[in-house]
């Protein structure tokens, strides 16, 4: 199945804009800037900002939910219902504590791994058949430090690692949109 919706998870607002938790939105914004056929436009009915992109002839929508991370599923479900997009045609782009800063992995299905944005999307879509682009942000070392870590701003070195990972993932978007298995081999190798 081709990907018809790419979702960059985030917390909205300037206070969160440059935090590790928003690396999914950094990807979505860079993707739209690079290959978008339109810029993001707010859609209150669908609870998010939407843009259209075309990559090597493949059309897709990109979504930035208006809600906080823990409630992203409402926007994802609304867009999927409105445009008749199936869960297995969705790519969720999110931060991942289990990957070192700058590492990227593509995955299909699976649990939420403690990520509240994924937990809400699984609940709203009624399953886990969607795809994920996991952008590594590293781990602070102890679970008691996680909250402040994900909502903190990364070092300049980590930001460079994040944006390098984003560039590598954007370069593979033609495969991601049309051949997930080949994209996984290329990115996960």
pLDDT at 1: 78
Assess whether 94 carries a catalytic annotation. Answer: no
pLDDT bucket at 180, cuts 50 / 70 / 90: very high
Position 189 pLDDT exceeds 90 = no
pLDDT bucket at 126, cuts 50 / 70 / 90: very high
pLDDT at 112: 85
Helix, strand, coil share (%) of the chain residues, nearest 5: 45, 20, 35
pLDDT at 113: 82
For the chain, how many structural domains are there in total? 1
Q: Measure CA 147 to chain center.
A: 19
CB-CB neighbours of 84 under 10 Å: 8
CATH number where 18 lies: 3.40.50.1470
In the block, tokens 């800037």 appear at 33
% pLDDT > 90, the chain? 90
DSSP 37-106: SS--EEEGGGTEEEEEEEETTEEEEEEEESS-GGGTHHHHHHHHHHHT--GGGEEEEEEETTS-TT-EEE
pLDDT tens, 59-97? 999 999 999 999 999 999 999 999 999 999 999 999 999
Q: Is 157 left (phi over 0), alpha (psi -120 to 50) or beta?
A: alpha
Of 21, 47, 66, 131, which residue is the catalytic one? 21
Position 8 pLDDT exceeds 90 = yes
93 and 176 Cβ atoms separated by less than 8 Å:
no
% pLDDT > 70, the chain? 100
pLDDT tens, 34-63? 987 789 999 999 999 999 999 999 999 999
Residue 59 belongs to what domain range?
5-188
């Amino acid at each position: 199945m081709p990907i018809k919706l790419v979702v960059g998870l985030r917390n909205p607002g300037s206070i969160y804009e440059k935090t590790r938790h928003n690396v999914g939105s950094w990807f979505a914004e860079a993707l739209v800037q690079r290959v978008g056929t339109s810029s993001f436009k707010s859609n209150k009915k669908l609870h998010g900002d939407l843009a259209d992109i075309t990559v090597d002839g493949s059309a897709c929508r990109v979504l930035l939910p208006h809600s906080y991370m823990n409630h992203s599923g409402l926007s994802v479900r609304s867009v999927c219902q409105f445009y008749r997009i199936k869960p297995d045609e969705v790519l969720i782009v999110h931060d991942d504590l289990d990957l070192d800063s700058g590492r990227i992995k593509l995955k299909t299905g699976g649990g939420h791994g403690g990520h509240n944005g994924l937990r809400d999307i699984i609940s709203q879509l009624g399953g886990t058949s969607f795809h994920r682009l996991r952008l590594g942000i590293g781990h602070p070392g102890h679970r008691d430090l996680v909250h402040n870590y994900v909502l903190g701003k990364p070092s300049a070195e980590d930001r460079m690692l994040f944006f390098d990972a984003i560039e590598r993932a954007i370069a593979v978007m033609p495969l991601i949109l049309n051949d997930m298995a080949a994209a996984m081999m290329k990115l996960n190798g």
